[in-house]
């Protein structure tokens, strides 16, 4: 049973599918319910899509993904070295994809710095426990 993963993929649309399936395989391998695997798959898809669409102005860059699982939790980190969140996002307004992640993950932490990228840390309860909130940490 694989309970961890580290991968870098090009920030292109085809990588979104690869990312979500790789992370879903880890979640399923840990014995997660199908509803948890589906939530993980959707959240990784949203996070990776944000990297592809918004992180790199010139289109060249990578999506970094790391996954670590225990008996009770799965932690997924999706990051980039792109432009960071805009002031609009830094002032508390989450886009549609981030709101989906906020609802489905047990915990969400966002770290972003201008021109140094963004990192989303998502924690999922493997038993399917309900989401408990967001901790948005943003540095200037």
Query: Comparing 61-65, 78-82, 96-100, 120-124, which segment has the lowest mean pLDDT?
Result: 96-100
The angle subtended at Cα 19 by Cα 31 and Cα 122, nearest 5°, is: 65
CA 115, chain centre distance (Å)? 19
Express each pLDDT in 73-116 by its tens digit: 999 999 999 999 865 454 555 678 888 999 999 999 999 998 89
Give the residue carrying structure tokens 């886009």. 95
pTM value? 0.84
E strand or H helix that includes residue 73: strand 73-79
In the chain, domain spans:
4-136
Is 4-136 a CATH 3.30.565.10 domain? yes
Q: Dihedral through CA 126, CA 131, CA 135, CA 136, nearest 10?
A: 100
The answer to whether 124 and 40 have CB atoms below 8 angstroms apart is yes
For 93-116, give the DSSP string. Answer: ---HHHHHHHHHSSEEEEEEETTT
Distance CA 15, CA 52 (A): 9
Q: How many other CB atoms are found less than 10 A from the CB of residue 111?
A: 19
Whole-number pLDDT of residue 11: 96
CA distances from 19 to 71, 115, 117 (A): 22, 23, 18
């Amino acid at each position: 049973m694989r309970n961890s993963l580290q991968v870098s993929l090009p920030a292109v649309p085809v990588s979104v599918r690869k990312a979500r399936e790789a992370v879903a395989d880890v979640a399923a391998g840990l014995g997660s319910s199908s509803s948890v695997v589906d939530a993980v798959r959707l959240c990784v898809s949203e996070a990776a899509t944000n990297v592809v669409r918004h992180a790199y102005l010139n289109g060249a860059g990578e999506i970094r993904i790391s996954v670590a699982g225990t008996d009770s939790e799965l932690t997924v980190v999706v990051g980039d070295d792109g432009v960071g969140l805009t002031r609009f996002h830094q002032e508390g307004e989450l886009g549609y994809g981030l709101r989906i992640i906020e609802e489905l993950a047990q915990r969400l932490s966002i770290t972003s710095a201008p021109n140094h990228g963004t990192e989303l840390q998502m924690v999922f309860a493997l038993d399917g426990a309900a989401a408990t909130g967001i901790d948005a940490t943003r540095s200037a």
